[in-house]
Amino acid sequence: MLTPMKTKLNVTHIITALASIALFTSLESCTPSSGGSAEWQQQVQTLPVLTVSSTAATTFKEFSASLEGSKDIEVRAQVDGYIDKIHVDEGAFVKKGQILFKINDQPYVERLNNAKANLAAAKANLANAEINVHKLTPLVENNVVSDIQLRAANAAYEAALASVTQAEALVRSAEIDLGYTTITASADGYIGRILVEPGSLVGASDATPLTVLSEIKEVYAYFSFSEREFLQFIKRFEGNTIQEKISKMPEVELILADNTVYPYKGKVETVAGQFNSSTGAISFRASFPNASGLLRSGNTGRVRMPYAVDSAVIVPQESTFELQDKIFVFALSDSNTVYSAPIKVSDNMKNFYLVESGLKPGDKIVFAGLDRLADGAVIQPEPISLDSLLNL
């Protein structure tokens, strides 16, 4: 019974030994000869290389902006009374002169009637005083009565005339107050939130307006420059005054809250007279056409401002890497050896950096494959054109 088991064990040992010899032979055949060891240890990579050049560029800066209608008019009551009727709804577009609110006018109708009655009485007194003057004038001329009586009659006439003037003023005031009971739109625009209901008591002293009427044929976007950006603006644009410099600024774009670009460009028009002491920023205002009514007061967005640069050294952002808050590229020496070179970035344009220092026209940098490189690595450069990248 022991004989078969011994036979099986011997066969297993033979198979294992043969496998070991085969593996050793395979490894021996893969070992490089002394003459080819350098090639085996290091394979030269072929990587795309870009020659840095100077070109005209346009960069963009974006500033958070709040939008307001060209006129945001607070609609207020100018007389005290109860709201009888509201003629519009929130968000409605109204024309100049259209009725918005109606205040109960009965007290003002009665006040006007009373003023008219007082005017009629004043006119009757004036007529009576005029009769007395005409009656006494010939008597004084004929020395029938003393001129003192005539002077008294003339004084009474002047007083009656003043009373008529006063009564007429009261009638006009009552008519104005009665007119104020009908509140109309002072401009074309959109109605904001209505803060009263029919039956609400309103008055000229109310702190809160009835609503806000926004005239939005033109919309203002307000955005701010920091002190540094303001000084750059002064240096960048020609002109002897701030307004002259503003007139030289290019048109700007508006980026809406959903990151879409508003189809019409705007123009920067004004700048505030002073910096905000709490934020250290100064406010600018750009105007955008809004005939379609797409923009509304209270919207937010970003103003995108272009800056044209006549000559700039640019590099693709994908050709750079960051290390300890600094930006580097892999530059190429004449011997095709790469080395990391720090660069100072002044701005960006789409997928490119504008280089302030660290590179000059004619320098060569590795375009892609940076993750496979280290200082001192030798590569086989494959030239690519900057123009082909700019046209992408």
Give me the residue spans of the domains in the chain: 45-59+310-390, 62-69+217-308, 77-99+186-208, 105-180
DSSP secondary structure code for residue 320 in this structure = E
CA distance 81 to 34: 108
Tokens of 155: 């004084």
Maximal CA-CA distance, the chain: 181
pLDDT for residue 36: 43
> Side chain identity at 256, as an amino acid letter?
L
Residue among 341, 260, 274, 272 nearest 302 (CA): 260
Please give the class, per CATH, of domain 62-69+217-308.
mainly beta
CATH number attached to the domain at 105-180: 1.10.287.470
pLDDT for residue 309: 80
CA distance 266 to 54: 30
Report which secondary-structure segment, H or E, holds 163: helix 147-180
Query: Domain 45-59+310-390, what architecture?
Result: Beta Barrel (2.40)
Helix, strand, coil percent values for the chain (each to nearest 5): 35, 35, 30
pLDDT for residue 19: 40
Sign of the torsion angle spanned by Cα atoms 36, 40, 46, 49: negative
CA distance 172 to 175: 5
Tokens of 368: 């892609």
pLDDT for residue 42: 52
Tokens of 264: 């019409």
CA distance 310 to 354: 12
CA distance 131 to 138: 12
pLDDT for residue 149: 86
Q: What is the pLDDT along the chain (392 residues), one digit of tens a residue?
A: 333 433 333 434 433 443 443 433 333 444 344 444 444 345 788 999 999 888 888 888 899 999 998 888 999 999 999 999 999 999 899 999 999 999 999 999 999 999 999 999 999 999 999 998 888 888 878 887 788 888 888 999 999 999 999 999 999 999 999 999 999 999 888 999 999 999 999 999 999 999 999 888 899 999 999 999 999 899 888 899 999 999 999 999 999 999 999 999 999 999 998 999 889 999 999 999 998 888 888 899 999 998 888 888 888 999 999 988 899 999 999 899 999 999 998 888 778 888 989 999 989 999 998 888 889 999 999 998 877 676 65
Report which secondary-structure segment, H or E, holds 331: strand 326-332
Strand partners, 69: 219
